């Protein structure tokens, strides 16, 4: 934002790609990316990726379907921000984060969660404290561990489930069921 505030628009997990995915590598990525959860990452030179897409219609199709999934996530995020409570959205973001990392813990501070949601840190802290009281999660310095994934899902809006269903339809079951 103009004042330097950063707001998370989407999450990319172990299924994803970043950069000029939708523009076929013609344009640079519009947004800035940050890594919340460490792990193995692959980096491929744009010229090599574009060559692979030219040689393999399957690879080109995969990236086109993934770009569609990114758009679906953005559209659903816009609708979610307009229609759902902060508590529902926080549960949705946490549900999505653990789903995309494949575990029950995510490296994320309260400040990062607040930035992802476009809310103040104190509000994010109150929401997390409520979830802790309900036994849904526990926090530690720099991280959040989900203790009751089904309970967290019941507090979340349906937005992540809708996006996950689209990912499954377009990419063939990228995420395993919780």
Residue 109 is part of a domain; what is its CATH number?
A: 1.10.10.10
Q: What is the number of other CB atoms lying within 10 angstroms of the CB of residue 20?
A: 17
Starting at the earlier edge strand, list the strands of the sheet with 143-146. 105-106, 143-146, 137-140
Average pLDDT for the chain: 85
User: Does residue 10 sit within a domain?
Assistant: no
| Number of domains composing the chain | 1
What is the pLDDT confidence band of residue 20, given thresholds at 50, 70 and 90? low
Q: Is the pLDDT of residue 6 over 60?
A: yes
Per residue in 34-51, pLDDT (tens digit) is 777 777 778 888 888 888
Q: How far apart are CA 93 and CA 16, in angstroms?
A: 17
**What tokens were used for 41?**
């990452």
Q: Quote the domain boundaries for residue 91.
A: 46-171
Exposed/middle/buried for 127, CB within 10 Å: 0-12, 13-18, 19+? buried
In this prediction the pTM is 0.80
Give me the pLDDT at residue 154, please.
96
């Amino acid at each position: 934002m103009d004042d330097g505030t950063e707001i998370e628009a989407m999450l990319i997990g172990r299924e994803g790609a970043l950069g000029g995915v939708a523009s076929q590598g013609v344009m640079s990525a519009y947004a800035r990316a940050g890594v919340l959860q460490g792990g193995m990452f692959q980096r491929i030179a744009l010229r090599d990726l574009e060559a692979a897409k030219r040689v393999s219609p399957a690879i080109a199709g995969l990236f086109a379907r993934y770009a569609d999934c990114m758009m679906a996530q953005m559209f659903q995020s816009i609708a979610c921000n307009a229609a759902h409570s902060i508590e529902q959205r926080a549960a949705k973001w946490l549900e999505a984060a653990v789903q995309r990392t494949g575990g029950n813990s995510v490296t994320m501070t309260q400040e990062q969660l607040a930035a992802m949601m476009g809310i103040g840190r104190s509000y994010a802290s109150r929401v997390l404290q409520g979830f802790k009281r309900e036994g849904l999660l526990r926090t530690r310095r720099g991280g959040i561990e989900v203790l009751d994934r089904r309970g967290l899902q019941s507090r979340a809006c349906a937005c992540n489930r809708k996006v996950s269903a689209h990912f499954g339809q377009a990419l063939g079951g990228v995420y395993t069921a919780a």
